[in-house]
Homo-oligomer: A and B are copies of this chain.
Amino acid sequence: MNKVYIDKLSGHVNKEVQINGWLYNSRSSGKIAFLMVRDGSGIIQGVVSKSDVSEEVFTSIGDLTQESSLSIIGKIVEDSRSESGYEMHVSDIIIHQIADEYPISLKEHGTSFLMDNRHLWVRSKKQNAILRIRHTIIKACRDFLDNNDFILVDTPIFTPTSCEGTSNLFETDYFGRVAYLAQSGQLYSEATAVSLGRVYCFGPTFRAEKSKTRRHLTEFWMVEPEVAYADLNDNMELAERFVAYIVERVLEIRKEELKIIDRDTSKLENVVPPFPRISYTDAVEKLNSSGHKFEWGDDFGGEDETVLAELFDKPVLVHRYPAAIKAFYMKRDENDEKLALGVDMLAPEGYGEIIGGGQREDDYDTILKRLKEHKLSEKDFKWYLDLRRYGSVPHSGFGMGIERAVAWICGLKHIRETIPFPRTTHRLEP
């Protein structure tokens, strides 16, 4: 028997096939039963007429519970009313396991209960759709960079030093030494960009922040391109093309899934370059003039970002931040030493920062001075200083947090649904 997936039925119309899956829902009258079966690729209705199957098989339908595993065998017919476009006229059923009473019914449950049962919750239609969109977002990130001749260069998770204090770092005993779990691969990518020109790293990153907000995870994925011979403007242009491509791909490939999660796609269709660009200083002015008090020199909090992002209907690039609130490696604006050549991209609809990056300082003496100002050890950063001794060039890059991008593109209120098994300050299970 030809085993097929539900999303590949178009080539099997009027043919007998076998579908392996799980019972999603069912209803039955005396002589006919309707089985909604999901197989991971889609959902199909199997129509079982008492007259078409053995008595034993028809009787066994009564035993089937939600999420029981079964194979249905029968002829595929077109059915324009159904979600998949097809239904099956079932001629046989193989039951693999009758499931215990499934804890997640099709009605509403509390979030904490669903999170405790995340290993089962991922089977629901909406969570399944989000995971598919996540897959497509990640694939689009990689495709964009690969197609633009970037080379993936994985950076280490175990690192011997921290560049922004150790308070937000997870640490581990590394054969008698302390190793920190990486918050970013950037510093390493600066080294490999000199080898390969255009590189990216893409891996999990870790922050031990205690802040319990709907935007924070302790473990999240980040994609970070880094380009040699690129300045802040090149960087902004790259970020813009990158995000536009991702949104375009999701709109193209995940139409069905966006419908399942009720996403208003008109807002996404608007995400086309050019994106507005605004300096930090102008942003502060805009905030104040719109009645939202904010002092020049402060860092934007989630609330400030939300207000700011809501002033635009596309992602907005905010550039040239006060150097005092930015990392030691950020290059200063040659026109104003108080400013760093950093850029953040804020997503619309109140989602706030999804990208952070900028042009890196490329002068040896300046980096050395900054290390001292930030009380960082010259010895620990010797290798990083080497990059400014041997063929230093202007270079730039950014990092995009995958879960924040998924939250925005899917229109989710809370980041916990953007990743298969979220880790927060209070959650390490399942």
Residues from chain B with a CB closer than 8 A to the CB of A392 are 69, 96-97
Q: Does A20 contact B (CB under 8 A)?
A: yes
Task: Chain B residues near A154: list those with CB within 8 A.
Answer: 204, 221, 419-420
Contact between B204 and A96 (Cβ–Cβ < 8 Å)? no
Indicate if the CB atoms of A389 and B428 lie closer than 8 Å: no
Task: Say yes or no: B421 contacts A188, CB within 8 Å.
Answer: yes
Segment with Cβ contacts to B, from A127-135, A282-290, A341-349: A127-135
Q: Are B391 and A40 in contact (CB under 8 A)?
A: no
Chain B binder among A155-163, A262-270, A308-316, A330-338: A155-163
Which of B122, B160, B188, B383 interacts with A191 by CB under 8 Å? B122
Interchain CA distance A152-B202 in the complex, whole Å: 14
Which residue of B3, B7, B67 is within 8 Å of A391 (Cβ)? B67
With A387-B119, A392-B96 as contacts: A20 and B229 at CB distance below 8 Å: yes
Query: Is B131 touching A153 in the complex (CB atoms < 8 A)?
Result: yes
A116, closest chain B residue (CB): B383
**Interface hits, A201-236 → B, CB 8 Å:** 203-204, 206, 208, 210, 218-219, 221, 228-229
A415 to chain B, nearest CB (A): 14
Contact residues in B for A41 (Cβ distance below 8 Å): 149, 196-197
A425 cross-chain contacts in B, Cβ below 8 A = 175
Does A417 make an interface contact (CB < 8 A)? no
Q: Does A138 contact B (CB under 8 A)?
A: yes
Given contacts A158-B218, A171-B172, A383-B119, contact A428 B179 (CB under 8 A): yes
Question: Can you name the residue of chain B whose Cβ is closest to the Cβ of A8?
Answer: B149
For window 363-388 of chain A, which residues contact chain B by CB distance below 8 Å? 383-384, 386-387
Cβ-based interface call for A423 (8 A): yes
Q: Is A177 an interface position by the 8 A CB rule?
A: yes
In A166-209, the 8 Å CB interface with B consists of: 170-175, 177, 179, 181, 188, 191-198, 203-204, 206, 208
| A391-B149 in contact given A20-B229, A155-B420 (Cβ < 8 Å) | no
The answer, yes or no, to whether A280 is at the interface (CB within 8 Å) is no
Contact yes or no, B122 A155, CB < 8 A: no
CB atoms of B393 and A5 under 8 A apart? no
Contact A69 B383 (CB under 8 A): no
A194 adjacent to B383 (CB under 8 Å): no
Q: Closest Cβ of chain B: how far from A190's Cβ, in Å?
A: 9
Contact of A198 among B40, B67, B198, B218 (CB under 8 A): B40
Q: Mark A58-69, 1 if CB is under 8 A from B, else 0.
A: 000000000111
Instruction: Verify B128–A195 contact, CB threshold 8 A.
Output: yes
The chain B residue with its CB closest to the CB of A160 is B428
**Nearest CB of chain B from residue A130's CB, rounded to whole Å:** 11
A430 on the B face (CB < 8 A)? yes
A173 to B425, CA, bound (A): 11
Question: 13 more A-B contacts (CB under 8 A) besides A40-B196, A96-B394?
Answer: A3-B229, A40-B195, A41-B196, A96-B391, A99-B391, A119-B383, A119-B387, A120-B390, A123-B195, A131-B192, A154-B221, A170-B172, A175-B426
> Nearest 8 pairs between A and B by C-beta?
A40-B197, A383-B430, A119-B191, A69-B391, A20-B229, A67-B391, A122-B195, A40-B196
25 contacts between A and B (CB under 8 A): A5-B197, A20-B393, A22-B194, A40-B196, A69-B391, A69-B392, A96-B394, A99-B390, A117-B386, A119-B387, A122-B192, A131-B151, A131-B153, A131-B192, A131-B195, A139-B146, A153-B420, A154-B419, A157-B219, A160-B429, A170-B174, A172-B172, A177-B428, A188-B421, A383-B430
